[in-house]
Amino acid sequence: MKALEWLQAGGISTARDSLETDSNYQVLRTLAEGTSVIWGEWEEIRSGQATEDQSWRILQLTDSPLLTIMKTSTNQAVGLLAGPGTIEQLWITGLQPLFDQQGVCIRLTDNTGKEILSHFSGNIELRAVRTSSETRLPWTLHLASTDPGTALAEFKTRNRLLLTGLILIAALVLFGSFLITRAVMHELRVARLQSDFVAAVSHEFRSPLTTMRQLSEMLARGRVENDERRNKYYSVLVREGERLHRLVEDLLDFGRMESRTMGYEMKSLDVVALTDTVVREFSMEVSDLGYQVDLSNATFPIMIQADPEALGRALWNLMDNAVKYSPDSKTIWVGLEMKDNRLELSVRDKGLGISSDEKEAIFDKFVRGDTSRQTHKGGTGIGLSMVKQIIEAHSGEIQLQSEPGVGSTFTILLPMED
């Protein structure tokens, strides 16, 4: 009645019966009743019957819920009263596009479970509930899907995307681990090969130097009794000096090849004459060891564009490699012929041979085969690598045929001169 009197006092003169059915009147009446409640609470605070209050809550004074936001003290009371329409306009209307996009609808209830406002229609299954203690709002929020089938499809799609993402992440982790492991293993292998290379080079230097030091000391101290033995020692000194010189040159050339600064003086040359010269010099080198070289040479000149020193070193390294790994067979076969407008220069032995697993790696730098390590043969592990780089610089290729216990054949293929 206080609310009705207040409304009529404000100039509303409509008959009471018509006011009871008017929607605007109902809203105004609810607001008036809320005002009366706030006024009564403030009166209690001023009289000391209640403490100061600063809160917001839902009042259910009539059929329409009312949101009140209060700040009271003994001197004044400030309050905001909002009905369902205002609540919907302030809190819901602005979020409606998002609700439509997500395919959800909402319902608000007070702490007693009474509905404040609702967008639910029909048989809608709840998806989530958030209480006022969780949201810090004066109502409980209920969310539901307007189309459960679409929501389920979206859920499955998100799950598939999540699963796909996890699989991709796992694959990347595994692939990255594989690459890291491979890189580490490669570095360890290179470090081990380099260590073996240093040890092998030291050994290769030590052998001729030891021989030269011993013979030089004997000659210098007059311990050689006759001229024949003295001349033999001189020959050994020359041979070991040349061996040491070739080793140093190989190391220098290998360094230039690795740094891509190796220069080649290409010229037109008769490869038959070059092969004959290199084979004759090599035969003199290994004759004291009981080895001989069987040369099957062409009877006419074969002209190619090549660096004579580099190509001669490649042939020498192949023959030296054949002697080193042929402890029982004392003959090395060198052949020279033309096939399909290409030169074929082959070096064959009946030595220890190379297994199929090592054929590709045998041309890599610092690599020495299992047979070499097992038999404790000398070598730096750069000879075949240098041969391959020299032949490739001449636009050619090198092929290998080998079988353990049978022997090996290295074949150099070079283009003919135009």
Same-domain pairing of 273 and 405: yes
Q: Which residue range is the domain that position 51 belongs to?
A: 1-81
Same-domain pairing of 249 and 353: no
Kindly report the CATH number assigned to the domain that includes residue 331: 3.30.565.10
Number of domains in the chain: 4
Residue 154 within any structural domain of the chain: no
Residue 152 within any structural domain of the chain: no
Name the least confident of 44-58, 214-228, 230-244, 287-301: 44-58
- Look at residue 369 and tell me whether its pLDDT is greater than 80: no
The string of pLDDT tens digits covering residues 88-140 is: 777 777 777 877 777 777 888 877 777 777 777 666 666 688 888 787 777 78
Same-domain pairing of 308 and 397: yes
Same-domain pairing of 297 and 381: yes
The string of pLDDT tens digits covering residues 262-285 is: 888 899 999 999 999 999 999 988
Other C-beta atoms closer than 10 Å to the C-beta of 10 total 9
From 227, 262, 297, give the residue that closes a domain. 262
Same-domain pairing of 339 and 387: yes
Same-domain pairing of 293 and 350: yes
Residue 382 within any structural domain of the chain: yes
- Look at residue 170 and tell me whether its pLDDT is greater than 90: yes
Residue 153 within any structural domain of the chain: no
Residue 256 within any structural domain of the chain: yes
Q: Is 340 left (phi over 0), alpha (psi -120 to 50) or beta?
A: left
pLDDT confidence band for 396 (50 / 70 / 90): very high
User: What mean pLDDT is predicted for residues 47-51?
Assistant: 72
Q: What is the pLDDT of residue 62?
A: 62
Same-domain pairing of 15 and 67: yes
Same-domain pairing of 313 and 324: yes
Rounded distance between C-alpha atoms, residue 211 and residue 195, angstroms: 25
CB 414 within 8 A of CB 345: yes
